A and B are shown apart, each in its own frame.
Chain A
Amino acid sequence: MQTVSIVAAVAAGLTAVGGLSLDRPVAAAESRVAAAEYVVDAAHSSVLFKVDYQNVVPFYGRFNQVQGTYTIDFENPSSSAIDVTIPTESIDSNNAGRDDHLRGPDFFSAREFPTISFVGTSFESVDEDTMNVEGNLTLRGVTKPVSVELNWGGEGNDFRGGTRSGFEAVMTFDRSDFGVNYGVDNGVLGDATTVTVALTGMQR
Chain B
Amino acid sequence: MAIDDPQVQAGVFGVALPAFSGAIGAGLGWLIAGRRDKKLAEAGSSFDEDMKQSPRADALLALGLGGAFAVASLGLFGVPDTWPRAMSEWMLPIVAAGTVAATVPGLIGRGLPSAVVRWLLRAGFVAGLLAWPLANTRSNHWEGAEAAAWMAGVAAWLLLSFAAMDRVATRLPRAMVCVVLGLSVAGLIPVVFGAGVTAQPQVSGGLAAGIGVAGVVALISRGIVPLVGAGGVVVAWLASTMFVGWPFVADMAWWEVGLSASLPVLAALPTLVPGLSKRRAAAGWIAVALVAGATAGVSARHVPDLVSELTGSGQGSDLDDLYEMYGS
Contact = CB atoms under 8 A, between A and B. Distances in A.
A54 B249 CA distance: 28
A104 B250 contact: yes
A113 B199 contact: no
Contacts of A105: 86-88, 196-197, 199, 244, 249-250
Interface string A126-158: 000000000000001110000000000000000
A112 interface: yes
B274 interface: no
Interface residues of B, number: 34
A142 to B, nearest CB: 6
Given A97-B326, A98-B326, A100-B251, A109 B140 contact: no
Q: Which of A95, A109, A179 has the most CB of B within 10 A?
A: A109
A112 B197 contact: no
Given A106-B88, A113-B86, A97 B249 contact: no
A188 B319 contact: yes
A44 interface: no
A95 B323 contact: yes
Contacts of B78: 185
Nearest to A187: B6
A96 B327 contact: yes
Contacts of B166: none
A188 B86 CA distance: 22
A112 B323 contact: no
Contacts of A111: 140-141, 247-250
A59 B221 CA distance: 55
B262 interface: no
A114 B78 CA distance: 26
Nearest to A112: B136
B325 interface: yes
B327 A109 contact: no
Interface string B73-89: 00001100010011111
Interface string B58-84: 000000000000000000011000100
A97 B196 CA distance: 10
Interface string B298-328: 0000000000000000000111001111111
Nearest to A96: B327
Nearest to A141: B85
Contacts of B251: 100, 104
Contacts of A188: 317-319
B199 A106 contact: yes
Given A95-B327, A140-B86, A112 B137 contact: yes
Given A100-B196, A112-B249, A188-B318, 4 more contacts: A111-B248, A111-B249, A112-B248, A185-B77
Interface of A: 54, 95-98, 100-101, 104-106, 109, 111-114, 140-142, 179, 182-183, 185-186, 188
